[in-house]
Amino acid sequence: MGILIGVIIVLFVLGSMMALKPNGIDQRLDKLRMTARRLQLNPKLVSCPDWIKGRDNEYGRGMLGQYCLILDDIQLPHARYQVIDGQWRPDSSFVDTSADDSKLVVPSAIRATHSKPVIKPANFALDKAPLDLPASIEPFVKGLLTKANSIVIYWEDIAYVRPATNPAYQQKMIETDLLALKANLDKWARQMQKKP
């Protein structure tokens, strides 16, 4: 009887320790985000912005990875892009509530609260530009945001590490894929800086 109780206690303790260990997908996601942080891509998990189609193809639903590249040597316009058919397409739902271009551009949902909104033209510098990202990242990209000296990409980074959505996942390719993402973010930022 004492041996049976000892075995039960050992199994209980082992079960508790196994419950504390993160599962394989969480470990992969942690490796991806730590590599991104090392490459200065500043990853965050954020709620899906209301202008991006998230979970179940609904605007603003679910959580997305937000990877931000800060470029000290450039100044970018405030712009938003969505992925449509593998290309960047500008989000033209911004309005400027004043005639001064230095003021913050606000979403069109706030338009009704201002008496004379002035429509600010969308930035078309990346219009119809192909994503040109690694095949393991491209299907999960949802949107792009630029402001001041930063360029932010929104994507489902958990889908990148999940075996069901990315069966070709290889841990040794994380750094290569993220370096390609960083190079493209830099290229898009410089392309946007050249065009008004």
Mean pLDDT of the chain: 84
Type of residue found at 151:
I
- Mean pLDDT, rounded, for 11-31: 84
Percentage of the chain with pLDDT > 90?
51
SS3 147: strand
SS3 178: helix
What are the residues facing 151 on neighbouring strands? 69, 146
Higher pLDDT, 185 or 114: 185
The 10s digit of each residue's pLDDT in 89-105 is 988 665 444 444 445 55
Compute φ and ψ for 128, nearest 5 degrees: 65, 15
Inter-CA distances, 144 with 82, 161, 185, Å: 6, 21, 9
State how far the Cα of 169 lies from the Cα of 173, in Å rounded to an integer.
8
The 10s digit of each residue's pLDDT in 49-78 is 999 988 888 888 999 999 999 999 889 888
State how far the Cα of 29 lies from the Cα of 31, in Å rounded to an integer.
5
Counting Cα atoms < 13 Å in the Cβ hemisphere of 52 gives 27
Q: Residue 194: its pLDDT value, please?
A: 73
Q: Model's pTM, two decimal places?
A: 0.77
Evaluated on CA atoms 105, 106, 107, 112, the torsion sign reads: negative
State how far the Cα of 186 lies from the Cα of 45, in Å rounded to an integer.
21
CA 41 to chain CA centroid, Å, is 10
The 10s digit of each residue's pLDDT in 154-168 is 999 999 999 999 998
The 10s digit of each residue's pLDDT in 25-43 is 999 999 999 999 999 999 9
Query: Which of 22, 144, 138, 160 minimizes the C-alpha distance to 76?
Result: 144
Say if residue 110's pLDDT is above 90.
no
Q: In this predicted structure, which of 108-112, 123-127, 134-138 has the lowest mean pLDDT? A: 108-112
What are the residues facing 64 on neighbouring strands? 46
- Mean pLDDT, rounded, for 14-26: 80
Higher pLDDT, 88 or 15: 88
